[in-house]
Amino acid sequence: MAAEFVPGTGPHYYAEGRLAGTTGDEIAIISRGGDLVQRTNQIAAEARDDIARAPVPSRSDASGQAPKRIALVISHLGPGGAQRVVTNAVEVMADRGIDLHVMVFTDRPDAYPTDTRATYHYWLPRRDREAVDFDTDGTEEIASVSPKSAKAGLRMLLRPLVPNQVAFGIELFRISAWIRRTIQAIEPDAVLSFLTQTNIMTVLATRGLRVRTVISERNDPRLQRHRPRVEFLRRIVYRRADAVTANSKGALDALEAFVPREKLAFLPNPLMKPASTEAIDYGAPTVVTVGRLVDQKGIDVLLAAWAKAGAALPDWRLAIVGGGPLEDELKARARDLGIEGSVGWHGQVSDPFPFLRGAQFFVMTSRFEGTPNALLEAMSCGLPAVVSDASPGPCELIGAGDDAAGLIVPVDNPEATAEAIIRMARDETLRRRLALNARERAGFHEADQAIEVWLRLLHCE
């Protein structure tokens, strides 16, 4: 099926401002504002005349049988680990003939190739949407995604006069209502959403609908902090999903605090086979890291560690693959440390494998993680790793003892990280042994095997 970039159906509201199937108690929990319903209906009325229902393709294939239909909900398809997971999963499930619908409600340039066999539903036409920051690493927050119009401009002027709780509730309702109406039009067998706020809205949107709803945390709930209202809603809403998943055993343990154990399940990241066999020639032995340049990834710690390790390893280089809001700040930090000559900045790339293949080992100094795709991809290339112990996910991947695939160091500890880097660089025998373990441990996440787990959880085998 050819790609169909479908404008969304727009905000849609029911009588008295309620989402069908949503209880009055839930409305009260979310709104906490006496005029929220009135404001919500007002916004809905403004948009309703301009936005049409999205068409849905036929369910029957050439054989006359209806394939399974799955809806994936995510805030955007820009840079990010969850976004990489979604694009990988779409490709594998499309190979199996599944009818896939990807629902997106904020606008960012696509960071990874999107499979043309899926159908993409957007809340508003791309040309009318403003770029916003939503579901980002560690700092996700609902923001306005209103169309660029005179009315939208007026709302921007009035925004400082609207209490934050009311504005939050309005945006939550607007997007939840669109998710609900689009799901009703698609009629999927199952819905799978990604990241905390998107999960909350998806569960609210599917209340009362006969569709299996599975939500997915992709980070460490113990350490990834959201606004208090989001943390509160997560504790109330998550238990209403049919299944709540995470990509590490440690994250599942944390979710047990507010989700019934029988609803929790492990959802592995699908590891795709690389499209090419190319390798970057760095011109020197190289340590590589791949990740967004945000505080979560701890690149500042890595630079401090490299200032010590690089002095002991004058022939080695550090390669940083990724982009993000802290790029200028981190480059300035490298200059202040006097290491700019041994650090290469390679920016955001859609295919990190050539950069991984050209390196001797991988390093990750994150302050929290779920199951990082970058580490999985490095291990699949036979790269041993140095990783921080901030979250269970990376430690579970690396393992311990004779089966370990790398060295684990304390989080936010440049000295210990530098010592591990020096040890790894100087001991080629150690690197070879860890590399063999890395390939083997990454095998569990091989795409077809991982997607089997997904389909069982979605009841779409």
DSSP string, 32-80: --TTHHHHHHHHHHHHHTT-PPPP---S--TTSPPPPEEEEEES-SSSS
336-375 in b/e form (b: 16+ CB < 10 A) is eeebeebbbbeebeeebbbbbbbbbbbbbbbbbbbbbbbb
Answer yes or no: do 309 and 349 share one domain: yes
Amino acid 130: pLDDT: 43
Q: Cβ–Cβ contacts within 10 Å for residue 4, how many? A: 15
The closest of 218, 216, 155 to 191, measured between CA atoms, is 216
User: For the chain, how big is the Rg over CA atoms in Å?
Assistant: 23
Q: 434 and 454 share a domain?
A: no
User: What integer pLDDT is reported at residue 218 of this predicted model?
Assistant: 83
Q: Specify if 279 maps to a domain.
A: no
Domain span at residue 390 reads: 286-445
Q: What pLDDT is attached to residue 370?
A: 77
The pLDDT value recorded for residue 27 is 35
Quote the CA–CA distance of 450 and 16 in Å, as a whole number: 43
Tell me whether residue 299 is in a domain: yes
- Would you say residue 216 lies in a domain? yes
Query: Phi, psi (5° rounding) for residue 281?
Result: -95, 100
| Structure token pair of residue 209 | 């609908």
Find residue 73's DSSP bridge partners. Answer: 103, 193
pTM of the predicted model, to two decimals? 0.75
Considering the domain architecture, whether residues 240 and 316 belong to the same structural domain is answered as no
CB 93 within 8 A of CB 451: yes
Residues 147 and 252 in one domain: yes
How big is the CA angle at 168 (ends 212 and 193), to the nearest 5 degrees?
Answer: 20
Same-domain check for residues 256 and 366: no
19, 177 in Cβ contact below 8 A? yes
Residue 278 domain-assigned (yes or no): no
The whole-number pLDDT of residue 190 equals: 98
Q: Which segments of the chain have a pLDDT < 50?
A: 1-57, 126-151, 154, 158, 161-162
Q: Is residue 276, in this structure, part of any structural domain at all?
A: no
Is 198 inside any structural domain? yes
Cα distances (Å, whole numbers) of residue 62 to 2, 31, 58, 460: 15, 47, 11, 20
Q: Strand 286-290 relative to strand 317-321: parallel, antiparallel, unpaired?
A: parallel
Gap between the Cα atoms of 185 and 180, Å rounded:
9
Report the distance separating Cα 367 and Cα 100, nearest Å.
34
Q: What is residue 64's predicted lDDT score, i.e. its pLDDT? A: 56
Average pLDDT, the chain: 81
Residue 138, CA distances (Å) to 107, 195, 309, 392 in order: 19, 10, 29, 17
Say yes or no: 64 and 87 in one domain.
Answer: yes
> Is 66 a domain residue?
yes
The per-residue pLDDT for 164 is: 63
Please answer whether residues 290 and 322 qualify as being in contact, where contact means their C-beta atoms are separated by less than 8 angstroms. Answer: yes
Exposure class string for 184-202: b at 16+ Cβ within 10 A, else e: bbbebbbbbbbbbbbbbbb
CATH code assigned at 382? 3.40.50.2000
252 and 334 belong to one structural domain: no
Q: Which helix (H) or strand (E) holds 300?
A: helix 299-312
Query: 330 and 206 in one domain?
Result: no
| 20 plus 149 within the same structural domain | yes
| Residue 28 located in a structural domain | yes
**Tally of domains within the chain:** 2
pLDDT score of 81: 85
| Residue/partner pairs of 17-24 with CB below 8 Å, 24 or more apart | 17/41, 17/173, 19/173, 19/176, 19/177, 19/180, 19/204, 19/205, 19/207, 20/180, 20/207, 20/208, 21/206, 21/207, 21/208, 21/209, 22/204, 22/207, 22/208, 23/207
Same domain, 70 and 105: yes
Confirm if 215 and 458 have CB atoms less than 8 A apart. Answer: no
Rounded-to-integer distance, Cα 43 and Cα 146, Å: 10
In 3D space, the residue among 127, 97, 132 whose CA is nearest the CA of residue 115 turns out to be 97
User: 171 and 56 in one domain?
Assistant: yes
Which residues, including other chains, have CB under 8 Å from residue 371's CB and lie 6 or more apart?
247, 248, 268, 269, 393, 394, 396, 397, 445
State the Cα–Cα distance between residues 197 and 220, nearest whole angstrom. Answer: 15
Same domain assignment for residues 167 and 267: yes
